[in-house]
Amino acid sequence: MSGLLPSDTKPTQTRDGDLRVLWLDDEESEQLINSLSSETARSLLTALHEAPATASELSETVETSLQNARHHLTNLQDAGLVQVADTRYSVKGREMNVYAPTDDSLVVCVGREDDRSTFMDSLKRLVGTVAVLGVFSLLVQFAFGSTVTDLGGPGTAPRVGDSLGGTAGPLLGLIPPGAAFLAGGLLVLAVVAVWEYRRR
């Protein structure tokens, strides 16, 4: 009979972590905007980001009726903002869904039809460039991290400032070579992006 008692176990959430790109004139965007148009729906989504919960728990948290909470949860689920993460059993043995927010990053864009392919190409190029930069940063750390003189004592990772001597200043002494390479690469990437944007 233990399965009929309320369960306090933490639900294991299956989270995708995908990037969803929607355009304002898409049918899916309309569904998303409609699902968030109610203050109650936004309160439910905020509460779910605090902790997964059942519809009855959420109705108490946001002070609304159970029927209203279920209505908004269905809309949020249809819009891809909420998912059923687990099930629980009430004292009476009824099965209850435990809701949790999806982990998808969401971008809603405004623009012309021909802007879509340009935006997606730019996004793919940016993600690819950052990934390559990350790989090269690891290679720099692997190649130069072991050859830099360690002045920090036992258990301290080599730092950029260690190889440059005492004139490097306290800030450089805190940065590993791989992290310095990554930061410099991201800075260059940001400058190029701003320059490209201003050229248009």
Mean of the per-residue pLDDT values of the chain = 75
- Give the residue-averaged pLDDT of 42-55: 92
- Give the residue-averaged pLDDT of 66-75: 94
Residue 63 has pLDDT above 50, yes or no: yes
The band of 194, judged by pLDDT with boundaries at 50, 70 and 90, is confident
Q: Which of 95, 3, 85, 82 is nearest to 56 (CA)?
A: 95
Which amino acid would we find at residue 165? G
The band of 54, judged by pLDDT with boundaries at 50, 70 and 90, is very high
Delimit the CATH 1.10.10.10 region(s) of the chain.
2-109
Tell me which DSSP letter residue 17 carries: -
Question: What is the pLDDT at residue 9?
Answer: 46
- Provide the whole-model pTM: 0.51
Most confident of 25-29, 159-163, 165-169, 194-198: 25-29
Query: May I ask the CATH class of domain 2-109?
Result: mainly alpha
Question: Which tops the pLDDT comparison, 154 or 110?
Answer: 110
Question: Which tops the pLDDT comparison, 24 or 96?
Answer: 96
- HSE of 65 in the Cβ direction (CA atoms, 13 Å)? 3
Kindly state the helix (H) or strand (E) to which residue 46 belongs, with its residue range.
helix 39-50
